[in-house]
Each structure stands twice: as C-alpha cells, then as structure tokens.
Amino acid sequence: MKFKVTTSGSFYTKDEAEKLKSLGFTFGVNEYDEMRRPYLTGDYVEVEISTLEELISFSNYWGDIIVSDGKIEIYDDYRE
C-alpha cells in the first residue's frame, strides 16, 4: 500500500534534513534564522509499505509515527 508521508516538524538541522532527503523531501533555506526548512512538493512524499513488518521497520528507523487513512506522519516535533 502506498502511504503519503509528512512530518510534524518544520525546521531541521543539516543532519536531520539529509536523513529526510532519503525519503524524497526537499529543503529550502530560511533566510531569517538559516535553519533548514522542508518545503514539500505536493505537501508529502510517498512510500510503499506492504507488510506490518515493513511498517514496524519504518517506525524503528524514523521514530514515532502516526498512521491514519493512507497517511503516515513522522512525529518529530510538537503538534497541536
């Protein structure tokens, strides 16, 4: 099944940004504070996850996730 992946956070260190780039996220540079900020083309990237084991492996690598209705949010920051 294809999942649309988003993140909770907006600002990342260079190392965090490099890790997220492996999923297909793109980053621009915020001129105000020079932190990395993702600007997601189409608001998400897609991943193919076919089994529960693959989902668990994804979570083990990326940390806490929220899964709902064909969407996965990488819970890497506070959200309301």
Q: Per the domain annotation, does 80 fall within a domain?
A: no
Q: Which residues form the domain of 59?
A: 2-74
Whether residue 79 lies inside any domain: the answer is: no
Give Cβ neighbours of residue 5 (< 8 Å, ≥ 6 apart): 23, 44, 45, 46, 47, 71, 72, 73, 74
Residue 51 lies inside a defined structural domain of this protein: yes
5-16: average pLDDT = 84
pLDDT in tens, 14-71: 788 889 989 998 877 666 665 556 555 557 899 999 999 999 999 999 999 999 999 9
Query: What total of structural domains would you count in the chain?
Result: 1
| Residue 63 lies inside a defined structural domain of this protein | yes
pLDDT band at 6 (very low <50, low <70, confident <90, very high): very high
Q: Beta-carbon neighbour count of residue 23 at 10 Å?
A: 15
Return all residues near 56 (Cβ < 8 A) that are at least 6 apart.
none
Does any domain span residue 14? yes
| pLDDT number for residue 42 | 54
